[in-house]
Amino acid sequence: MKLLQFFCLVSLLILDVAFGVKHELFKRCDQSGFCRRNRHYGNEISKTQNKYYSINEESVKFGHSVITGDIQKSLNQSHSVRLPFTLEILENNNIRLQIDEDRSKFEFNHKLLQKERYNEAWKYAFNGIPKISKNYKVSDISNGQFDILYGKDEQYKLEVYTEHFEIIVKYHNEPQIIFNERSFLNVEHIRSKDNHESSLLQEELNFGSFQDSFKDSKADTLPFGPESVALDVTFQGFKHVYGIPEHADSLSLRDTTASEPYRLYNVDIFEYEVDSRLPMYGAIPLLVAHKPGVSAGLFWVNGADTYVDIKKQDRSVPNALREHIDTQTHWISESGIIDVVIFIGSSPTEITSNYAKLSGQTQLPQLFSLGYHQGRWNYNDEEDVLTISENMDKYEIPCDVIWLDLEYTDSRRYFTWKKGSFPDPERMLAKLNETYRSLVTLIDPHLKLNYEVSDQVSEKNLAFLDKNGKDFHGHCWPGESLWIDTFNPNSQEFWTTLFANDSGFAGDATNLHIWNDMNEPSVFSGPETTAPKDVITYGNVEIRSDHNIYGLTYHEATFEALKERYINKRPFVLTRSFFAGSQRSAAMWTGDNMSKWEYLKVSIQMILNQNIANMPFSGADIGGFFGNPSKELLTRWYQTGIWYPFFRAHAHIDSRRREPWVPGEPYTSLIRNAIRLRYRLLPLFYTKLYQSHVNGSLVLDPLFYKFPDNRDVFEIDDQFYIDGLLIKPVTEEGAESINIYIPDDEIHYDYDTFQKFQGLGDHRISTPLEKIPVLIRGGTILSRKDRYRRSSKLTRYDPYTLVIALDSNRKAKGNLYIDDGETYNYKLADQYLYLELNFVDNILNSEILEGAGSTGGSTKVEKIQIIGDDLSFEEIFIKQNDTEWSGSFEKHDNYYVVKNPNVDLSKNWSVSFR
């Protein structure tokens, strides 16, 4: 025992020293041939003025819904490569440009190669086939140009230039976005290894075209040579751009001219760093640009290894009133086609929402999954799990889910349970179910060789293949493994049987949910900890081309399998790896970060960015994954984590236990208070997720989403709004007070004391450890459920408390969504309520906007609290079902309380304050 403790201590010390990402594991741009070539190409092109890409005017056809033609890439006087393009106006005034390559004349001698470039990323990234608008006008081609007018009042215009391929996108007569302004467009056409020198342009230097020098032992065989695609896109007058998660970096993206580009390549970046452009577990190639009056988005629909260079180009004229800065971006993908969608509108919300219409809205999660999740690598056995659950009750801490990491399995074989430790999983699940709690277990895509599941995957030809067409084998948690290829449609049926209620895996319990980890995929023995790029996925596609999409196909397969298991219940799946579209079926967390203050801080930036990229159901491990947080850090992390839409504490196997009762008083009470605050606000979180589900709105709004005209907020990424709550988590050790920035002149009230803060700018708030800095913006109506319950499902029949914070015009507004919290009945049978609460002219009105029928829970209101200045009401009259009666209330200094108004939210009602 002593010896073991000693060993643990030593290993902790060693770990502490060893923390830090292993840079040498990951390629830099100059070690990735295609990135280096394209950066070089860009540099050379800007010197030479060479413009190799033009539109063949004779090839252009103006169809009813699409414009097609050929771009020519000129190699020399007599030779060019044909690159067919399509240009479409999609609904909501989005533009889509695709550029492919005609390879029909090329002699292929590799049997595994598809004759076409990979062009299916959109099938995963879009939610179905996008709708095309036929509502546009197009001019004839003259003087090397044609124009397309579209949108309401023809407020959008595309100017397409043919001699030197370029497209200018105008909105309200101003150029906003320019394709190929800098001539970085580059499509590396197919060539054979033997005579590729002759088919090179001078600028297309041969950096690693057919060979990779990264690490000899893990070198990429590059069987098909260079096939990258690249394009430059300028955002005119936009100083700030955001998005392209996942990176542990500031919200407003940095200039990368003198550093590494932002890289999108899903990898297991164990112990990552903050302030970094290194790739991480997931990738959403959506960039959002914003300036007052105009916002724009660029969706680079490509699932291959991708680098994005960002340059802030100062074009201010001397003595001008305002600086003029363009953001110039350079998108470089290793393979696939150019497939890019542009969004332009008047606000950032419009961009995210337009993107959501294309790529799919966030799932509506079960209510329980917005509650508190208690995880750890690992809870050792059934008794450990049940004791954790009992302790939650003993310490009166609400909790919805206990998590089992890797070690619950028998020798890391998924779909098995460790013998002895988990003798009767069904019994354990039934026990948890007594308090309406759930269990989440880990199921990863690597499958240990030589057991039932992997044997079947192999027999059914559902595994990734290596470059010779044999099952690909690599190293991961269980040792030698194969990977289920969820690009293969046949995988779904098999995967579904593994989760079925008669599969033997946890019986028919419906309080079992699934966590998909390591789905980048993580391959310990592979280059950059992932699969070699010449691994073959379904349909003879090298994983080089669909790498970033794999994680999505895997968690979607799990989601679909669980749907079968639960019949009408919404599955909960947590994924580490993700791609555009993942929001439709999974929650994400930020992976394996550390128990340090700077990670607490960057978690907010990362989660805001996930919101911008329409994947709001996201969180970070409370307390940090690696290491042992101080009690103060742990407490602050809970106080921050209650605002993450996905709220889970989790820890590495080598860290000490740190469940809420472990730190002792006063910390345990402070953590309890924080978690209970989250539970009181569950109706708010649930309503925000419903709104996101329906309209693609954000759950956490960065300040510039709410105040798009206030330039001072464009870089603020340490505070945010959830509806009308303005939150600034404390992320500094020992902070006795902090500044919170109020973005306009509206009144804001302290959440706890109702103290008034007013005036644009910084306000000092004192932040002893018990203080969670939250202000309620005047004009907000919040719905809460205030009673303590052991889990969220137990709050179902609890009545609501409404909190009305009046603005300077004595108005306020809010929405509330209610349904049964777990099934799809809200879709099938309209069994939900979406209502608006509106306080105006001293009358509070509650009106049903959508939905009908039962919600399967309480719709009673037990309390209405009204906060404002100079309240001077003497009496109130409540009205429902055509009867009116006078109610009573209590007066306090700066708020009034109406107790038991006896109204029911399932019918319209009103309260008149006189």
Ligand X SMILES: *[C@@H]1O[C@H](CO)[C@@H](O)[C@H](O)[C@H]1NC(C)=O
Judged by the rule CB under 6 A, the positions of this chain that interact with ligand X are: 75-76, 78-79, 198-199, 248, 274, 430, 433, 501, 508-510, 564, 567, 590, 593, 599-600, 602-603, 606, 620-621, 624-625, 690-691, 694-695, 834, 847-849, 880-881, 902-904, 907-908
In whole angstroms, the minimum distance from the beta carbon of 485 to ligand X comes to 25
Catalytic, 847? Answer no
Phi, psi dihedrals of residue 533, rounded to the nearest 5°: -70, -15
**The one catalytic residue among 268, 520, 820, 862:** 520
Joined together, the tokens standing for residue 118 give 């990979």
Q: Round to whole Å and give the CA distance between 456 and 450.
A: 10
Of 305, 560, 592, 659, the catalytic one is 592
CB atoms within 10 A of CB 8: 12
Residue 417 · residue 408 · CB < 8 Å? yes
Residue 400 a catalytic site member: no
Least distance CB 433 / ligand X (angstroms): 4
CB of 774 to ligand X, least distance (A): 19
Q: How far apart are CA 516 and CA 806, in angstroms?
A: 44
CB 565 → ligand X: shortest distance, Å?
7
The minimum distance between CB 531 and ligand X, in angstroms, equals 25
Residue 350 C-beta: closest distance to ligand X, Å: 10
325 versus 816: smaller Cβ distance to ligand X? 816
What minimum distance in Å lies between the beta carbon of 12 and ligand X?
A: 17
With DSSP H G I counted as helix, E B as strand and the rest as coil, what are the percentages for the chain, rounded to 5?
25, 30, 45
Instruction: State which residue, 29 or 248, has the beta carbon closest to ligand X.
Output: 248
Which of residues 76 and 104 has its CB atom nearest to ligand X in the complex? 76
Shortest spacing between CB 157 and ligand X, in angstroms = 26
Return the axis-axis angle of helices 682-695 and 348-359, rounded to nearest 10°: 70
With the C-alpha atoms ordered 640, 644, 648, 650, is the resulting torsion angle positive or negative?
negative
Residue number with CB closer to ligand X (522 or 545): 522
Alpha-carbon torsion, ordered 866, 870, 875, 877, to 10 deg = -40
Rounded distance between C-alpha atoms, residue 756 and residue 302, angstroms? 49
Nearer to ligand X, 891 or 907 (CB): 907
Distance CA 731, CA 641 (A): 11
CA distance 499 to 561: 6
- Residues 663 and 462: their CA atoms lie apart, in Å, by 47
Q: What are phi and psi of 149, to 5 degrees?
A: -110, 140
Cα–Cα distance measured from residue 208 to residue 226, given in angstroms and rounded to the nearest whole number: 8
CB 474 within 8 A of CB 527: no
Residue in this structure with the two tokens 């030698």, named with its chain if needed: 480
To the query of whether residue 592 is one of the catalytic residues in this protein, the response is yes
Nearer of residues 201 and 449 to ligand X, judged by Cβ? 201
H-type alpha helices, 24-77: 33-48
Q: Strand pairing of 725-727 and 774-777?
A: antiparallel
Nearer to ligand X, 411 or 881 (CB): 881
Torsion angle (degrees, nearest 10) of CA 762, 764, 770, 776: -50
Q: Are 262 and 246 in contact (CB under 8 A)?
A: no
- Given the complex with ligand X, which of 75 and 897 has the nearer CB atom? 75
Alpha carbons 399 and 889: distance in angstroms, whole number: 34
Catalytic-labelled residue, pool 517, 556, 560, 862 = 517
**Beta carbon of residue 508, minimum distance to ligand X (angstroms, whole number):** 4
Query: 41 or 690: whose CB is closer to ligand X?
Result: 690
- CA distances to 75, 307, 711 from 42, in Å: 17, 13, 32
Closer by beta carbon to ligand X, 66 or else 848: 848
User: Shortest Cβ distance from residue 251 to ligand X (Å)?
Assistant: 13
Query: Where are the strands (E) in 301-368, listed by range?
Result: 306-314, 325-333, 338-345
CA distance 84 to 99: 6
**Six-digit token string for 879:** 């009205």
Contact yes or no for 458/485 (Cβ under 8 A): no
- In degrees and rounded to multiples of 5, residue 592 shows phi and psi of -95, 85
Classify each residue of 262-274 as buried b or exposed e, where b means 16 or more C-beta atoms within 10 Å of its C-beta.
bbbbbbbbbbbbb
Q: For residues 812 and 835, which CB has a smaller minimum distance to ligand X in the complex?
A: 835
CB of 650 to ligand X, least distance (A): 7
> Rounded to the nearest 5 degrees, what angle is found at the Cα of 216, between the Cα atoms of 215 and 219?
75
Q: Which residues are known catalytic residues?
A: 517, 520, 592
